[in-house]
Amino acid sequence: MREYLLTLCVTVAVTYLLTGPVRKFAIAAGAMPEIRARDVHREPTPRLGGIAMFGGLCAGLLVADHLQNLNAVFEKSNEPRALLSGAALIWLIGVLDDKFEIDALIKLGAQMISAGVMVMQGLTILWIPVPFIGTVPLTQWQGNLLTVALVVITINAVNFVDGLDGLAAGMVCIAAAALFLYAYRIWFGYGIESAAPATLFAAILMGMCLGFLPHNMHPARIFMGDSGSMLIGLVLAAAAISLTGQVDPDALALFAGGERNATHAMLPVFIPLILPLTIIAIPMADLILAIVRRTWKGQSPFAADRGHLHHRLLELGHSHSRAVLIMYFWSGLIAFGTVAYSVHSATMWIVLLIAALSAVGLILLLLPRFTPRTPTWAEGLVPPRYRHAARAAEAAAEAAAQDASGAEPVPARPIAAGVSGVNGATAVGPRSRFPERRKAESTR
């Protein structure tokens, strides 16, 4: 565990330290796109945050390669090199898209090629555990096709959910944490060595997201862009595929009393990791709803709109921070609840706890006027822009300036709830609290 923690900390540090210079580079390179029709933010914000995240990925893999226990992952498996190859390709396409706005079909083709590169190097699904039947081996073309499909779906699911400051990075971090706990249990709990690459990938992915989040939390100073969202989506898919498609259920049968029992016992997490429906259930649901919604309207499935789940939360009256926290809550509940159920599937209290927390989540959805604030005792641990005194002073200064100029008062950015477009820019909200302002803005 200490070597995984060291790898995680190095990845966090490198990603965090690189993000500042990358922001300056993005501004100098002009990677600050103009506000689009689907965006609601009021000022351009630099993208290309994926450059820092890719640097964190490379640093994490490099450190792990020089650690005594983790070095075996590189010696006995080609999966780390496969991941790095596919990640480099998708990251390069993302960087070009952040700067030049590449066509959606070209990006889709690049995603398929990146997945194919990983498949050619051995990162593919070999079999699927089916409940009450056992292990179903896949032919080469079936495994390759399923792997490519899962990678493409996961990348686009993460890309679609990247709509609010800190949303995509936080949700993927939660998914990676749940995946790490499950993979670590398979690796060290059962002694199944083929789970080691997935454990390493999940730890590095957590570090990439945690290192980027301080710069991306509302109000964001930089966005990850497609170079970041597609990158973390690919790493998440690679970790899930490595664990599900490479771990032999026959080895689990030794601990569960038989192959069918082993497959049935691992069903709560195995099947979701194959498709992945629980680890990224919220982004996947958003992706499916977006495709259905756009197709129903006669639009392209890749046409951007403002009908995503986070946009709906803002329309209900939730603030930017509250909408993000709600999405975090549901992602964590589904991911960690599934992992907990896979460990204690015979007990009923896990199901009751999940049901109780779901009820709490539904209640939170009905209280959009509550705005979370940083506790007084924790203000010394957060950046100044998140401290209550600083927010109040800035709001008072802006209100005084507006009164002096006679213009319509507009809440300060750090206080105003915001919404971001596909690449995460801030805007004023929540709208339901200011009906007169909403009416004025709709006529502009």
Using pLDDT thresholds of 50, 70 and 90, give the confidence band for residue 121.
very high
Question: Is 231 domain-assigned?
Answer: yes
Query: Taking the mean position of all CA atoms in its chain, how far away is CA 89?
Result: 19
pLDDT in tens, 1-27: 889 999 999 999 999 999 999 999 999
Would you state the pLDDT for residue 308? 61
- Is 90 exceeded by the pLDDT of residue 207? yes
Using pLDDT thresholds of 50, 70 and 90, give the confidence band for residue 440.
very low
Q: Which is more confidently placed, 232 or 354? A: 232
Whole-angstrom distance, CA of residue 304 vs CA of residue 294: 9
Buried b or exposed e, range 33-69, using 16+ CB within 10 angstroms: beeeeebbbeeebbbbbbbbbbbbbebbbebbeebee
Using DSSP, state whether 435 is helix, strand or coil.
helix
Contact status, residue 64 vs residue 71, Cβ threshold 8 Å: yes
Q: DSSP labels for 286-340?
A: HHHHHHHHHHHTT--TT---S-SHHHHHHHTT--HHHHHHHHHHHHHHHHHHHHH
Whole-angstrom distance, CA of residue 305 vs CA of residue 287: 12
User: What's the chain's length in residues?
Assistant: 444
Whole-angstrom distance, CA of residue 253 vs CA of residue 125: 19
Question: Hey, how many other C-beta atoms are within 10 angstroms of the C-beta on 106?
Answer: 12
Would you state the pLDDT for residue 64? 94
Question: Is 46 domain-assigned?
Answer: yes
Would you state the pLDDT for residue 407? 46
Q: Give the DSSP H or E segment for 264.
A: helix 259-265
Q: DSSP labels for 114-165?
A: HHHHHHHTT-S--EEEETTTEEEE--HHHHHHHHHHHHHHHHHHHHHH--ST
- Is 60 exceeded by the pLDDT of residue 255? no
Question: Is 388 domain-assigned?
Answer: no
pLDDT in tens, 282-322: 666 766 777 776 677 776 665 565 556 656 666 666 666 77
- Is 90 exceeded by the pLDDT of residue 81? yes
Using pLDDT thresholds of 50, 70 and 90, give the confidence band for residue 358.
confident
Is the full-model pTM beyond 0.85?
no
Residue range 119-137: mean pLDDT, rounded? 78
Question: Is 399 domain-assigned?
Answer: no
Question: Is 404 domain-assigned?
Answer: no
Question: Is 376 domain-assigned?
Answer: no
- Is 70 exceeded by the pLDDT of residue 413? no
Using pLDDT thresholds of 50, 70 and 90, give the confidence band for residue 162.
confident
Whole-angstrom distance, CA of residue 169 vs CA of residue 24: 21
- Is 70 exceeded by the pLDDT of residue 133? no
Residues 6+ apart with CB under 8 A from 438: 431, 432
Question: Is 27 domain-assigned?
Answer: yes
Find the range with the poorest average confidence among 181-185, 229-233, 287-291, 410-414. 410-414
- Is 80 exceeded by the pLDDT of residue 113? yes
- Is 90 exceeded by the pLDDT of residue 184? no
Residue range 217-222: mean pLDDT, rounded? 84
Q: How many domains does the chain have?
A: 1
pLDDT in tens, 22-56: 999 999 988 886 665 555 456 678 889 999 999 99
Residues 6+ apart with CB under 8 A from 363: none
- Is 50 exceeded by the pLDDT of residue 430? no
Question: Is 23 domain-assigned?
Answer: yes
Q: Take residue 100 and report the two structure tokens written for it.
A: 């030049």
Widest distance between CA atoms in the chain: 77
Residue 331 belongs to domain spanning: 2-365
Find the range with the poorest average confidence among 34-38, 61-65, 87-91, 217-221. 34-38
* Residue 137 phi, psi (nearest 5): -70, 145
Whole-angstrom distance, CA of residue 162 vs CA of residue 440: 28
> Averaging pLDDT over each range in 20-34, 117-131, 205-219, which range is the top one?
205-219
